[in-house]
Amino acid sequence: MDISLKTTDGEIGETGVGDGLRVKIIGVGGAGTNTVDRLQFGEQGQARLAAINTDAQALASSPIPEKLMIGRSVTRGLSTGGEAELGRKAAENDVSSILNMVSGMDLVFILVGLGGGTGSGAAPVVARQARDQGALVVAFATLPFSLEGGRRLEIAEAALGELRLVCDAVIPLPNDLLLQQAEENATVLDAFTQADDWIGRGVGSICAMLFQTGLINVDFATLKKAFCVQGGKTLFGLGRGEGGDFVEKALQDLALCPLLHTPEYARKADRLLVNIIGGTDLGIGHVNRVMAAVTERFGSKADTVLGAVIDDNLQSTVEICVIGTTDVGGGRYVRQPVKSYAAKPKPPESPQGRPIDKAQGGPAAPKLDLEETSAPDNRESDYEPLPELDSVRPHDGAQGRSTETRMPQVHQSKLKKTEANDGTDQEEFLFVSEEEQRGYFDKTDRNLFDGEDLDVPTYLRRGIRVTL
């Protein structure tokens, strides 16, 4: 899979969207690093690749240009041996190097395999640093196979919960699904390639929206707006159609995408990001059909961000990528600008000589977004910190996670109005968010038996392949 993240000059450059937008793809832990390796993203674009690991040996063998070994004093260059606590300590010990790695970035993708030590422990730390630096953080997290045992699953779920609190969007990919998708006699490697493929298409789609020429371009501010509430469930689906009635085929493929049929995912989204990649024969009529079908299925037309990109290599082919975020389960972790009291080292210098001052104007103030959508890059507009924003800012400690604020509600979930309005047990609601990801059996007690959650379909946990 090769995704070129080319910036095309011309109209995009002029609007200043692709310009100076800095994207980093960071693999955390062994699995995450491998994924970044295998994806072989082109280095041409602004997307830079980086790897963070505790295992010196694994890191040495990786071709990724930017490598960071963490926790030398904790693990002495060895792996964490599956201890998430060690992974966290390792990351916290080297927090300044991580800070360096993420500072000045606008968009950070974190690719991580949860369940192990380094990934589960360090990824939330990395995500928090990136977010505190003002970057938009999107994490793709693979979850271990059920047959790997209860302990790894527990670690993974705890880490997933933590990630949800600090990332703008977390897209979980249960490995159990790989078995569903793989060919009858696929090897383990094939299965993992499939996971990488999903992640690659997800990352690629978001980047393509920002960087590539398209029928409909999406600027970074719009993208940020789509992810303005943190901690909620996400929705992620891919569909592809070729030849003939390629739009219809792609829509069918999307409807059957196993990623959309796991307990981990939301059925409807409050904000939807739809990206369509097609050849030059992709007409606006096609785009319209896709949009109509997708918004009908996943919800809210009003809050849908649409991108349509032309790729010359994809004649009579169309790829649809849907990413949705919801307020469900996440409460209202509204994106906050960097806190002024945080010890924020000024980013070394920005290549364009432009001050990267994310303290102001982030989409944390959705009101601004609504007014300023015409300004493609509202980071440039030099807002004074808004007084009303300050007043709602929590006055508590310097902990990164305490940024949950009650913002005046702008994006209210259309999905579960009653809950969103139910102010009484809001606190509880926030804290159980990570457990509320099980589809129909949401909000019921975990149904654990021998470390397995019985509410998750048996065929998924046992790796029984269901062919449709």
Partner 1 sequence: MSQSKIVAAVEIGTSKTVVLVGEIVNGRSLSVIGMGQSSSSGVKKGEILDFKAASNSTHAAIMGAEKSAGVNIDAVYLAQTGRHLEGFNNKGSVTVSAADGHVSGSDIERAQREGKSKELPQDRVYIHHIKNEVLLDGRKVDEPYHMKGERLDIGYWSIHGDERRVRDHIHVINGFGLPVEDMIVSSIASGSMVVGDEEKKAGALVLDIGCGATDWVLYQDGYIARTGVVAVGGDHLTNDLALGLRVNRRNADKLKLQCGKAILEKDDLTEKVWMVGDHMIGDRHIPKKAMVQIIEARLDELFRIVKKQIGPRCTAQNLPGGIILTGGTSQIEGICELAAKVFGAEARLGVNPRIVSEDLRGPEFSTVLGLLHYALTGQHAEEFNTGAHERGILRKVVKLIAG
Structure tokens at 119: 């990934």
The minimum distance between CB 162 and partner 1, in angstroms, equals: 26
Site size toward partner 1, by CB under 8 A: 27
**Among 16, 149, 263, 279, which residue sits at the site for partner 1 (rule: CB under 8 A)?**
263
The minimum distance between CB 449 and partner 1, in angstroms, equals: 6
On whether the CB atoms of residues 214 and 296 are closer than 8 A, the answer is no
Interaction of residue 242 with partner 1, rule CB under 8 A: no
Between 154 and 441, CB nearer to partner 1:
441
Which x/- pattern over 426-445 shows residues binding partner 1 (rule: CB under 8 A)?
Answer: -------------xxx-xxx
The minimum distance between CB 151 and partner 1, in angstroms, equals: 19
Between 258 and 278, CB nearer to partner 1:
258
Between 414 and 438, CB nearer to partner 1:
438
Structure tokens at 259: 């990623």
**Among 341, 343, 391, 449, which residue sits at the site for partner 1 (rule: CB under 8 A)?**
449
Q: 38-63 burial by CB neighbour count: b if 16+ within 10 A, else e?
A: bbebeeebbbbbbbbbbbbebbeebe
Q: 383-411 burial by CB neighbour count: b if 16+ within 10 A, else e?
A: beebeebeeebeeeeeebeebbbebeeeb
Interaction of residue 466 with partner 1, rule CB under 8 A: yes
Helices assigned H by DSSP within 304-377: 366-372
Q: Does residue 457 sit in helix, strand or coil?
A: coil
Q: Say how far apart CA 160 and CA 182 lie, in whole Å.
A: 24
If 0-12 CB within 10 Å is exposed, 13-18 middle and 19+ buried, where does residue 310 land? middle
The minimum distance between CB 454 and partner 1, in angstroms, equals: 5
Between 26 and 238, CB nearer to partner 1:
238
The minimum distance between CB 181 and partner 1, in angstroms, equals: 12
The minimum distance between CB 133 and partner 1, in angstroms, equals: 38
DSSP string, 166-204: HSSEEEEEETHHHHHHS-TT--HHHHHHHHHHHHHHHHH
**Among 188, 189, 343, 468, which residue sits at the site for partner 1 (rule: CB under 8 A)?**
468
Structure tokens at 391: 């007043």
Interaction of residue 261 with partner 1, rule CB under 8 A: yes
Would you put residue 224 in left (φ > 0), alpha (ψ -120 to 50) or beta?
alpha
Pairing of strands 136-143, 169-174: parallel
Span near partner 1 by CB under 8 A; candidates 212-220, 327-335, 406-414, 446-454: 446-454
On whether the CB atoms of residues 6 and 89 are closer than 8 A, the answer is no
Interaction of residue 248 with partner 1, rule CB under 8 A: no
Q: Say how far apart CA 438 and CA 429 lie, in whole Å.
A: 15
**Among 1, 342, 370, 464, which residue sits at the site for partner 1 (rule: CB under 8 A)?**
464
Between 60 and 448, CB nearer to partner 1:
448
**Among 119, 258, 278, 307, which residue sits at the site for partner 1 (rule: CB under 8 A)?**
258
Interaction of residue 460 with partner 1, rule CB under 8 A: yes
Strand stretches in 182-316, DSSP E: 214-216, 229-230, 234-242, 271-278, 304-310
**Among 122, 260, 321, 415, which residue sits at the site for partner 1 (rule: CB under 8 A)?**
260
Q: C-alpha distances in angstroms, 232 versus 56, 134, 156, 193, 285?
A: 35, 19, 17, 28, 33
H or E element at residue 113: strand 107-113
Between 79 and 262, CB nearer to partner 1:
262
Between 121 and 258, CB nearer to partner 1:
258
Between 94 and 253, CB nearer to partner 1:
253
Structure tokens at 387: 């007084």
**Among 1, 255, 292, 302, which residue sits at the site for partner 1 (rule: CB under 8 A)?**
255
**Among 256, 292, 392, 432, which residue sits at the site for partner 1 (rule: CB under 8 A)?**
256
**Among 9, 57, 73, 459, which residue sits at the site for partner 1 (rule: CB under 8 A)?**
459
The minimum distance between CB 186 and partner 1, in angstroms, equals: 18
Span near partner 1 by CB under 8 A; candidates 74-82, 216-224, 402-410, 459-467: 459-467
Interaction of residue 341 with partner 1, rule CB under 8 A: no
The minimum distance between CB 283 and partner 1, in angstroms, equals: 22
Q: Which of residues 363-392 bind partner 1 (CB under 8 A)?
A: none
Between 315 and 426, CB nearer to partner 1:
426
Which x/- pattern over 308-337 shows residues binding partner 1 (rule: CB under 8 A)?
Answer: ------------------------------
Strand stretches in 407-466, DSSP E: 448-449, 452-453
On whether the CB atoms of residues 237 and 254 are closer than 8 A, the answer is yes
On whether the CB atoms of residues 114 and 144 are closer than 8 A, the answer is yes
**Cα three-residue angle 153-155-158, rounded to 5 degrees:** 105
Q: Which residues bind partner 1 (CB under 8 A)?
A: 255-256, 258, 260-263, 439-441, 443-445, 447, 449-450, 454-455, 457-460, 462, 464, 466-468
